[in-house]
Amino acid sequence: MTERRLDKAHCDWFADEEIEDRTIGDLLREQAEKNGDGDALVEGLPDGTTGRRWTYAELLHDAERMAKGFAARFQPGERVAVWGPNIPEWVLVEYAAALAGLTLVTVNPAYQKRELDFVLRQSNSAALFLISEFRGNPMKSIAQGVAEDLPTLREIVDMQDEASLYTDPSGSLPDVDTNDPAQIQYTSGTTGFPKGVVLSHRNLTNNARLFVKVGDLPKNLSTIGLTPLFHTMGCSMGVLGSLQSGGAYCPLLAFDPGAALDIIEREKVSWTICVPTMAVAMVAAQKAQPRDLSSLEIIGMGGAMVAPELARAVEATLGAKALVAYGQTESSPLITSGRPTDDFEDIVTTIGQPALGCEVAIVDAATGEVLPCDTVGEIRSRSYATMLGYNDNPEATAETVTGDGWLCTGDLGTMDDRGYVKITGRVKEMIIRGGENLFPAEIENVLLEHPAIAECAVVGVPDDVLGEAVAAFIRVQDGAEFDPDAFKAHVRSQIAPQKCPAYWTQVTEWPLTGSGKIRKFQLRDDWVAAHTKEKSMDSYGG
C-alpha cells in the first residue's frame, strides 16, 4: 500500500474519528457498573507511600453523595471554584460538580490575592473549595480577605473538613447535557488579564478518551498524577484518561522525583504524563537509587520539546517509551500527538501528527491561506475539542476561533508531507517555564505598580533545566534606586512565585522599533550573548 502524502500543510486524515456524546458523570457510572471492585483513586503521599483508596463503586458513591449536597445548595450551571494541590478531594469535587451540573473553575494553588480575586470575580463563582495552606501559601487567609469584596461568593469550603464537604445529600441530581459547560480553566492573557476557557463535557471526555486511544495506553492499570490538577493535563488527560482506561488514578500531593518513583514501583503504575523537567528529575533519581519500574510503559510529555538525550534516558533508565504531545487549554488540550510506533527521530524533532478527531493546518496568519509543506506559519486546529469560548469575552473568542471553526494557536510551526508538525516559535510573547505558560504583560503590569519603576520589559531567556526563565529589564524613575530584591518582593506579594523574574537587568535606553516599540527580541539576544560570554569565561577561569 502506498504511504499517504500531503500536497500542502493541511492534514485531516484523523478528523473522522467517532466522537461520543457522554458526560463525565455518564463515564463514572459506566465504569462503576462494569469495574466496581477495581481501584479507582489512590492517595499519593509526599514520602512515596500511599494513603486512602477508593474502588470505582466507592468513588461513585462518594461523588454522588457530595453532588446531592451540591444540588441542594447550587443551581445547575452555577460556577464553583476548586483551589488546591493534587489531593483526592480535588478529584471528588471534579466528579461531584459534573454530576450536579455545575461548572468547575480550576485555580492554581500558587495564586496570590489579586489573581484569586480576578478568577473568582470574572467567573462569578458561587463557592470556593480549598485547603488551609499549601507550600507556605496561606490559602484560607487569602480567600477570606478576597471574599469580603465578593458578595456573589456564598461559601468557602475546606476540602479537608469532611462535614463541610459532604453536606445533607437531599438534592436531586439534574439531567446534564454533553454540551453543557463542565469546566472553566484560566490561561494567562497577552494583555495581562487571564481568560477563562470554557470547556464542555463533550470536549473533555472525548479528548481524554482519544489521548488514551492514540497512545495505546494500558487498560485497567494505574497511572500517577504528576501534573497539577488545575491544568487540563491533570484533570482531563490524567483523571478522565485514567477513568476511561479503567485504571486507578494516584494524584501525588507535590512532585518529588523520588516519591514519584517509589509510588510507580509500589502501585505498578503503567503510564503517566509530565513535563520534560519532571522526567529529567526522575531519570536522575532512578540512577541514584534504582527501583523496579518494570510496570512503566509510557511517559507522555508535553509543554516543551523533548531533547534526544532525554528520550533516550527515559527509555534506558526508566524503561518507558516517550510519547510527545502538544496542545492548548483552548483545545481541551490535545492538538497533536506522537504515536508509540513513531521513529525515534520523529519523537525528538516533532510534536507528532494531528490527534485523533483533530484537523491541523499551517497557515499564513495574515491571510488564513494554507501554506506549502515545510513552510513556517501559524499552527491552527479544528475539532470537537475546541472550547465553547472565553468566559464573558466574545471579542477574544472571535479573535481566537475563526468563523469556520479554526483555533488560532499563536504558535509557529511547519508540517511535512507525512503530517508531522514541528514548533519553530511563537506569534505571541508567551514564556514556557517548566511546561507552564507565562505571559510577559501580566508580570509587566505588576512591576509597573512599583513606585521606583518607570518602564519595564519581560522576556523569556534560555534555561538548561526549565527550558525558559523569566528575565526583567527595568528603567527606574529618575533618582530611584535599582533594587532587584525590592522588586522581587513586590512581585512575589502580588502573583504566583513561578512568574517572578529570575534575572534583573537595569537599562537606561531601550532598543526601539521604527514605531517606538521595545525590541524584546533584541533584549533577549543581547542577554543570551552576554551570559554565553560569562559562561565561556567561567569555563576558562575568566
List of domains in the chain: 10-415 (3.40.50.12780), 431-539 (3.30.300.30)
CA distance 483 to 491: 13
Query: What is the tens place of the pLDDT at every residue in 34-67?
Result: 999 999 999 999 999 999 999 999 999 999 999 9
Strands 50-55 and 39-44: antiparallel
> What pLDDT score was predicted for residue 375?
94
**Percent of the chain whose pLDDT exceeds 70:** 95
Written as nine digits, the cell of 361 is: 493546518
Contacts of residue 301, defined as CB under 8 A and 6 or more positions apart, other chains included, come to 273, 274, 275, 276, 279, 322, 323, 324, 325
CA distance 364 to 460: 25
CB atoms within 10 A of CB 79: 24
pLDDT band at 537 (very low <50, low <70, confident <90, very high): very low
Q: State pTM to two decimals.
A: 0.85
> What pLDDT score was predicted for residue 251?
98
Is pLDDT at 331 greater than 90 in this prediction? Answer: yes
Query: What is the tens place of the pLDDT at every residue in 333-391?
Result: 999 999 999 999 999 889 999 999 999 999 998 899 999 999 989 999 999 999 999 99
DSSP state letter for 173: P
SS3 159: coil
SS3 182: strand
The pair phi, psi for residue 453, each rounded to 5°, is -100, 125
Query: How high does pLDDT run on average in the chain?
Result: 92
Query: What is the tens place of the pLDDT at every residue in 235-278?
Result: 999 999 999 999 999 999 999 999 999 999 999 999 999 988 88
β-sheet bridge partners, residue 271: 223, 298
The pair phi, psi for residue 323, each rounded to 5°, is -120, 115
> Which residue in 73, 90, 150 sits closest to 117, CA to CA?
150
